[in-house]
Amino acid sequence: MPPQPVVHVAAIRKTYGATLAVDEISFDVSSVLGLDPRRDAYALQNRIGVQLQEAQLQKRIKVREAVALWASLFKQTVDGNRLLEQLGLSDKRDAWFMTLSGGQKQRLFIALALINDPELVFLDELTTGLDPQARRAIWDLVRGIRARGKTVVMTTHLMEEAERLCDRVAIIDHGRVVDIGTPGELVLRHCPERTVFVTADAPDAGAHFRDLPGIISVADDGPHITIVGSGADLVTQVIGCLAEHRIRVIDFRTEVPTLEDVFLRLTGHSIRD
């Protein structure tokens, strides 16, 4: 028997005035919590963590006080000081909440979501507004959560973030799930093309690539050749062709589609409100 999902969402719908944000979405997240949210609410609260995109605390509560307050709500907690250190907030332990920057507040709410070492954590736009250093630190923190066997459910508009952190990704457009799968599956399914850029010391080098299997196009611009094809063996075939014809290569690089390419292909390029 397959494991019961830790999260089961069935036909959820959410509107903000006239805006339909979530339109009959259903999905499962497999894990081993096995609790009923209604019957076992208290037990479940001790095993989950939630970080919201927008939240507030009392203006004059200090960072260390907020962490201590949250920790007092749970039987089991992690080291709050260590958590603040991981999130770059050690020097803000005695700062009032109202003096924190937007990014610092965001990191504090992540600390509060993780203080009880949850088995299941919900992260909502966890790196919005953060600088690259803070973003990478939080990514490492999430990887650590996953490495300890925890389940992470996160929402993000950053495709790089989803590609680096997620085992499974659901792409939502106009409130509906348009596809779901691992990042690799989604890329292979919707953007199978690969591009190879070759700079060669041979005037007719481009002609040798046109008959390779899976080739979509070959464009010559002097010594610069752009080869577009499909299939996982494209790069191997191009390298084999270069070796077979003893073509001297000055530069060689490849470009593979990303989850962002998949998102744009599935949802279009127009700007969304």
Does this chain's domain 34-155 share its CATH topology with 192-256? no
Phi/psi at 34 (nearest 5 deg)? 60, 35
Of 1.10.3720.10, 3.40.50.300, 3.90.550.10, 3.40.367.20, the CATH number of 34-155 is 3.40.50.300
Domain boundaries, the chain: 34-155, 192-256
CATH class of 192-256: alpha beta
Phi/psi at 122 (nearest 5 deg)? -105, 125
For tokens 């209604």, the residue is: 38
Task: Determine whether 67 is exposed, middle or buried from the number of CB atoms within 10 Å of its CB (0-12, 13-18, 19+).
Answer: buried
pLDDT tens digits, one per residue of 66-92? 999 999 988 889 999 999 998 889 999
Residue of 72, 98, 93, 97 lying closest to 82 (CA atoms): 93
Query: Rounded mean pLDDT of the chain?
Result: 87
Gap between the Cα atoms of 248 and 253, Å rounded: 14
pLDDT tens digits, one per residue of 157-209? 999 999 999 999 999 988 888 999 999 999 999 999 999 999 998 888 888 99
CB contact at 8 A, 87 and 126: no
**Which CA distances in Å does 211 have to 63, 202, 216, 222?**
64, 18, 10, 20
Sheet architecture: strand order including 249-255: 215-221, 224-230, 193-200, 249-255
pTM above 0.85, yes or no: no
Residue of 220, 211, 257, 255 lying closest to 235 (CA atoms): 255
pLDDT range class, residue 246, cuts 50, 70, 90: very high
Torsion of CA 35, 41, 45, 48, to 10 degrees: 30
Higher pLDDT, 93 or 8: 93
**Which CA distances in Å does 80 have to 53, 65, 76, 84, 105?**
21, 10, 12, 6, 16
Residue of 8, 3, 2, 12 lying closest to 27 (CA atoms): 8
